[in-house]
Amino acid sequence: MRSSMQQCCCYLTASLLFLIVFRSPEAAAASEKEILLQFRGNITDDPYNSLISWNLNADQCRDYSGVFCDSFGNVYKIVLWNTSLAGVLSPALAELKSLRILTLFGNRFTGNIPPEFQELTTLWKINVSSNALSGRIPGFLGDLTSIRFLDLSKNQFEGQIPSSLFRICEKTKFISLSRNNLSGTIPITINNCLNIEGFDVSFNRLSGELPSQICEIPNLVYLSVRNNMLTGSVEEPISTCQRLELLDLGSNLFTGTPPFRVLELANLSYFNISYNQFDPQIDVIQTCSESLEVFDIAGNGFQGLIPMSIVTECSGLKVISMGYNRLNGEIPVEISNLKRLTVIKLGNNSINGEIPVEFGSIELLQVLDLHNLDLEGGIPESISNCRFLLELDVSGNSLQGQIPETFYNMSYLRILDLHRNNLNGTIPSTLGNLSKIQTIDLSQNSLSGSIPFSLTNLSNLNHFNVSYNNLSGQIPLFSLQSFNSSVFFNNPGLCGAPLDQSCSGDSTNSESRPKLRVPTIVAIVAASLILIGICLVTVMNLKARRRRKEEEAMIIENTPLASSDSNVIIGKLVLFSKTLPSKYEDWEAGTKALLDKDCLIGTGTIGSVYKADFEGRVSIAVKKIKALGRIKNQDEFEQEIGRLGSLRHPNLVIFQGYYWSSSMQLILTDYASNGNLYDNLHGVIYPGTSSGIRNHELNWPKRFRIALGTAKALSYIHHDCKPQILHLNLKSSNVLLDENYDPKLSDYGLVKLLPMLDNYGLTRFHNAVGYVAPELAHSMRLSDKCDVYSFGVILLELVTGRKPVESLGGSEVVVLREYVRGLIERGKASDCFDRSLSGFVDNELIQVMKLGLICTSESPLRRPSMAEVVQVLESVPSGSEIGLGPRSY
């Protein structure tokens, strides 16, 4: 009996072992199906029903979309890309013991990579790029011994790159951490990855130097560190890379000798060292590989001639980008021998001569950018042979002759920018055949004749400017667009809407209209409505308080506005906004501010500013120009202010109108209730120090919002306005704050009034101590980089709470940019912080401070554009949007 029981137990044990070891595929499959359904359970939004097939009754290997199984029925691959799935990553996936490939890019996953994933030792590939993952990069990913491909790009990871990420990476071929918010240095442990072929950490906030042994990785072919804040020399470490195919060092702070030696590498196809601070000599380039396709050295201040070795030996070149340097000489005709070229960018140099006629033989050319050079001669008709051209920019030169009639042949053209030249003749009607054109800028030339009616058929045209020419005739009706009057300004012969000049032959001269003299202290205006050449003018007598009501209008002319004695001042008031009062009684009350010192709210370079209040709680700021009687040209004044009045941006102070008389000029703008940034930061009680009474509500999130908003406003006037608008008087007192502490940039574009003021005010720019770019102070060289410098000073003000220049008593002064630079170089960046700040993390302030120092570089060529500044600031999370991190206050 006992023997029988033992035998039975043995059978039972054997049966259990059999079931455990040889369980049915259905049981194993059910387990993995449950795991996949748990993954689906974590999905909060599936807009394209990508997981509709994932249900309990379906077979996961055969029916589940994006799921792949091996011959044993085990899930080894999950591919769900560009499906816009939202939710968090399910830790249950760690139980898929055969999973090798996990591809989830192009979704909306949040949170972080679950720590359970460290159990996925079978993983070969992880691609979670283009999601919204956040937090610090998990160090345990460096313990996944089988990883070949790791892509965490285009997420919101922050903090330093963990050195443990490269602890065990003998099998790793490619790592991308680009387009996150990573900071700190590149760990030297990257050298452990001896088989890595591609390494991309571009578009982060990394600092420090490039690891000196990075090119000791024998198989490295792809290296991109673009758009960080890396420093130091790279020539020696990079020159040892022998297999490089792509090298992108652009938009950093690298110095020393440029790494031109790698151009000799046989397989190198992409070379970008743009926007760094390399030594200026470019004549050290000896040769290059025939494999080279992209050569980008823009924005370094390189000097000398365009290297002939690049032109003659790089037969495979597709892109040449050498803009924003100090290159001189003529454009080599031999460039036309590079038949594969698609992009030529040489703008913003000192290159002279003519546009080579031979460029017309580059059949595949798509972009030709030769703006702001010293070119003369005409625009070759042969350019029309470049029928795939998308962008032609030859603005800012001294080109003469006519616009070629054959431009219609470039049927793909999107941008045609010929402004600021000496072109003459008529506008070719054949431009109306460019059906894909989006931008036509012909302003600031000597063109004559009429505007061709054929241009009104261009349905994609969104930017058009023919101002400052000699055009005549009626402006054709652009039925598909609404262009404001500024794009037609300064063409004496043009008439019709949107200009006020009628084409009927009726005079609009104010002298032909009836006038009533009104001796009054405060000037106001009623309305005039132009009805088919009939101008109705309302004239009031303020002393007699005679009131006459007319229909509301936007332009009121020949109306007295103010008088300091019994003499009458007759002038013209133009209102850009229909929300402003247009009745005499309203303006009589509102404009008393001009004589009431209690309503004075500030004084600036151009004049004094008063607050004018109207019924209905309407308030505006009235800038009274100081140099009375020195603005001689009314038309020019009206054109400039009229153009500014058409600008709209949420961070610009809006021009509401203007007043002109022979002895008084006023500019009407928005009123900002919280004053200016300078007074909020520094107070107004103790000039010359930082001990004034500050506004303690100005915490870091508000300051960051002010910085970003101001940057966007400057980027708008620099890059979106054609022609470009410069500020050149930028300082924190010209950054106004509304009721929500949102910034409003003021006084932009007013520098163009200064020539009308016989240069009055130019020397006063130099009184904006600490804000003025060196080239503006010493040589009056005007460019948008002057504004970038001034903005950099404002960034330093926002972080430190200090003034640009402070007196320590006697003749000793502290210059803010030098003070900050010194502390950062000594490793004491946090000593710069304004200790009254709240709501910030150290690293944010350090990044903004460093950006301020880059913006205030001595050389304009070292400074970024405002568009680039906006991009950098948008990559810095504001204090209100992040949680508590290291040393969060």
Instruction: List the Cα angle 203/205/209 in 5-degree steps.
Output: 105
In 15-137, beta strands by DSSP E: 43-45, 67-69, 75-79, 86-88, 101-103, 108-110, 125-127, 134-136
Query: 131-151: per-residue pLDDT in tens?
Result: 999 999 999 999 999 999 999
Q: How confident is the model at residue 211 (pLDDT cuts 50, 70, 90)?
A: very high
Indicate the residue among 622, 647, 671 that finishes a domain: 671
**Does position 105 have pLDDT exceeding 80, yes or no?**
yes
Mean pLDDT of 719-746: 89
Rounded Cα distance between 805 and 769, Å, is 7
Rounded Cα distance between 870 and 711, Å, is 6
Domain count, the chain: 2
In the prediction, which pLDDT does 280 show? 87
In the prediction, which pLDDT does 566 show? 32
Q: Please check whether residues 518 and 667 belong to one and the same domain.
A: yes
DSSP-derived 3-state class of residue 619: strand
In the prediction, which pLDDT does 484 show? 84
Tell me, what DSSP letter sits at residue 567?
A: S
Q: How many H-runs (helices) and E-runs (strands) does the chain carry? A: 14, 47
> What are the φ/ψ torsions at residue 517 (nearest 5 degrees)?
-85, 135
Query: 437-463: per-residue pLDDT in tens?
Result: 999 999 999 999 999 999 988 989 989
Among the listed ranges 359-373, 475-489, 843-857, which one has the minimum average pLDDT value?
475-489
Which amino acid does the sequence have at 518?
V
Rounded Cα distance between 195 and 170, Å, is 6
**Does position 749 have pLDDT exceeding 90, yes or no?**
no
**Does position 656 have pLDDT exceeding 70, yes or no?**
yes
Among the listed ranges 300-314, 377-391, 520-534, which one has the minimum average pLDDT value?
520-534
In the prediction, which pLDDT does 24 show? 44
Mean pLDDT of 659-674: 81
Give buried/exposed letters for 404-435 (b at 16+ CB in 10 A, else e).
Answer: beebbbbeebbbbbbbbbebeeebbbbbbbbe
Q: 276, 324, 273, 317: which is closest to 303 by C-alpha?
A: 324
Give buried/exposed letters for 527-537 (b at 16+ CB in 10 A, else e).
Answer: bbeeeeeebeb
Q: 757, 524, 570: which is closest to 663 by C-alpha?
A: 570
In the prediction, which pLDDT does 526 show? 39
Residue 808 inside a domain? The answer is yes
pTM for this entry: 0.60
Q: Please check whether residues 884 and 740 belong to one and the same domain.
A: yes
Rounded Cα distance between 791 and 734, Å, is 11
Residue 537 inside a domain? The answer is yes
**Does position 481 have pLDDT exceeding 80, yes or no?**
no
Q: Please check whether residues 572 and 706 belong to one and the same domain.
A: no
Indicate the residue among 636, 671, 706 that finishes a domain: 671
**Does position 321 have pLDDT exceeding 90, yes or no?**
yes
The string of DSSP codes covering 204-251 is: SEE-SBPPTTGGGSTT--EEE--SS--EEE-HHHHHT--S-SEEE--S
Which residue in this structure is represented by tokens 């950099």?
792
Q: What integer best gives the mean pLDDT of the chain?
A: 80
The string of DSSP codes covering 262-308 is: GGG-TT--EEE--SS---SB-TT-----TT--EEE--SS--EESPPH
- For residues 838 and 61, which has the higher predicted lDDT (pLDDT)? 61
Give buried/exposed letters for 318-352 (b at 16+ CB in 10 A, else e).
Answer: bbbbbbbbbbeeebbeebbebeebbbbbbbbbebe
**Does position 250 have pLDDT exceeding 90, yes or no?**
yes
In the prediction, which pLDDT does 757 show? 36
Token pair, residue 20, equals 């455990």
Instruction: Write down how long the chain is.
Output: 889
Rounded Cα distance between 72 and 266, Å, is 46
First-to-last CA distance in the chain?
80
Mean pLDDT of 787-815: 84
Q: How confident is the model at residue 842 (pLDDT cuts 50, 70, 90)?
A: confident
In the prediction, which pLDDT does 511 show? 34
Contact between 230 and 254 under an 8 Å Cβ cutoff? The reply is yes
Neighbouring-strand partners of residue 174: 149, 198
Q: How confident is the model at residue 545 (pLDDT cuts 50, 70, 90)?
A: very low
Q: Please check whether residues 569 and 531 belong to one and the same domain.
A: yes
Dihedral of the alpha carbons of 781, 782, 785, 790, in degrees to the nearest 10: 100
Among the listed ranges 44-48, 592-596, 779-783, which one has the minimum average pLDDT value?
592-596
Mean pLDDT of 335-344: 93
Q: What is the CATH number of the domain that holds 744?
A: 1.10.510.10
Neighbouring-strand partners of residue 493: 472
In the prediction, which pLDDT does 13 show? 42
Q: How confident is the model at residue 12 (pLDDT cuts 50, 70, 90)?
A: very low
Q: 512, 560, 503: which is closest to 535 by C-alpha?
A: 512
Residue 578 inside a domain? The answer is yes
Q: 234, 274, 238, 241: which is closest to 255 by C-alpha?
A: 234
In the prediction, which pLDDT does 640 show? 78
Rounded Cα distance between 262 and 875, Å, is 31
Token pair, residue 814, equals 């502290």
Residue 397 inside a domain? The answer is no
Which residue in this structure is represented by tokens 């591609």?
198
Mean pLDDT of 217-237: 92
Q: Please check whether residues 645 and 719 belong to one and the same domain.
A: no
252, 390, 432, 440 from 411: Cα distances, Å: 38, 9, 10, 14
**Does position 694 have pLDDT exceeding 70, yes or no?**
no
In the prediction, which pLDDT does 666 show? 83
Q: Please check whether residues 683 and 646 belong to one and the same domain.
A: no
Q: What is the CATH number of the domain that holds 614?
A: 3.30.200.20
250, 676, 801 from 838: Cα distances, Å: 35, 20, 12
- For residues 670 and 684, which has the higher predicted lDDT (pLDDT)? 670
Q: 605, 664, 603: which is closest to 629 by C-alpha?
A: 664
Residue 228 inside a domain? The answer is no
Tell me, what DSSP letter sits at residue 541?
A: B
Rounded Cα distance between 346 and 184, Å, is 34
Token pair, residue 118, equals 């460290």
> Residue by residue, what is the 3-state secondary structure of 626-667?
CCCCCCCCHHHHHHHHHHHHCCCCCCECCEEEEEEECCCEEE
**Does position 880 have pLDDT exceeding 60, yes or no?**
no
Mean pLDDT of 735-764: 69
Rounded Cα distance between 743 and 791, Å, is 13
In the prediction, which pLDDT does 583 show? 54
Q: State how beta strands 108-110 and 134-136 pair.
A: unpaired
Token pair, residue 493, equals 């012969």
Query: 606-655: per-residue pLDDT in tens?
Result: 778 888 877 667 788 888 876 543 455 677 778 778 888 888 899 999 88
Among the listed ranges 492-496, 515-519, 608-612, which one has the minimum average pLDDT value?
515-519
Mean pLDDT of 579-598: 55
CA atoms within 13 A on the CB side of 255: 5
**Does position 228 have pLDDT exceeding 80, yes or no?**
yes
Indicate the residue among 656, 671, 686 that finishes a domain: 671
In the prediction, which pLDDT does 414 show? 93
**Does position 708 have pLDDT exceeding 70, yes or no?**
yes
Contact between 174 and 152 under an 8 Å Cβ cutoff? The reply is no
Q: How confident is the model at residue 573 (pLDDT cuts 50, 70, 90)?
A: confident
In the prediction, which pLDDT does 755 show? 38
Q: Please check whether residues 581 and 700 belong to one and the same domain.
A: no
Q: 332, 369, 324: which is closest to 350 by C-alpha?
A: 324
Residue 127 inside a domain? The answer is no
Q: 711, 698, 709, 700: which is closest to 843 by C-alpha?
A: 700
**Does position 390 have pLDDT exceeding 60, yes or no?**
yes
Rounded Cα distance between 628 and 825, Å, is 49
Mean pLDDT of 595-614: 74
Q: Which residues contact 183 (CB under 8 A, 6 or more apart)?
A: 158, 159, 160, 204, 205, 206, 207, 843, 847
Q: Please check whether residues 768 and 793 belong to one and the same domain.
A: yes
> Residue by residue, what is the 3-state secondary structure of 389-428?
CCEEECCCCCCCCCCCHHHHHCCCCCEEECCCCCCCCCCC
CA 299 from chain centre, in angstroms, equals 16
Q: Please check whether residues 766 and 873 belong to one and the same domain.
A: yes
**Does position 571 have pLDDT exceeding 80, yes or no?**
no
In the prediction, which pLDDT does 541 show? 38
**Does position 27 have pLDDT exceeding 50, yes or no?**
no
Q: Which domain holds residue 543?
A: 506-671
Token pair, residue 264, equals 């000799």
**Does position 876 have pLDDT exceeding 90, yes or no?**
no
Q: Which residues contact 295 (CB under 8 A, 6 or more apart)?
A: 271, 288, 310, 314, 317, 319, 320, 321
Q: Please check whether residues 692 and 597 belong to one and the same domain.
A: no
In the prediction, which pLDDT does 693 show? 57
Q: Please check whether residues 753 and 663 belong to one and the same domain.
A: no
Rounded Cα distance between 638 and 633, Å, is 9
Q: How confident is the model at residue 467 (pLDDT cuts 50, 70, 90)?
A: very high
Rounded Cα distance between 234 and 225, Å, is 12
Q: Please check whether residues 743 and 770 belong to one and the same domain.
A: yes
Angle, in degrees to the nearest 10, between helices 866-874 and 700-715: 150
Q: How confident is the model at residue 360 (pLDDT cuts 50, 70, 90)?
A: very high
Rounded Cα distance between 635 and 624, Å, is 18
- Count of CB atoms within 10 A of residue 238's CB? 22
What region does 315 belong to: left with phi over 0, alpha with psi -120 to 50, or beta?
alpha
**Does position 882 have pLDDT exceeding 70, yes or no?**
no
Residue 331 inside a domain? The answer is no
Residue 536 inside a domain? The answer is yes
Tell me, what DSSP letter sits at residue 878?
A: P
Rounded Cα distance between 515 and 539, Å, is 7
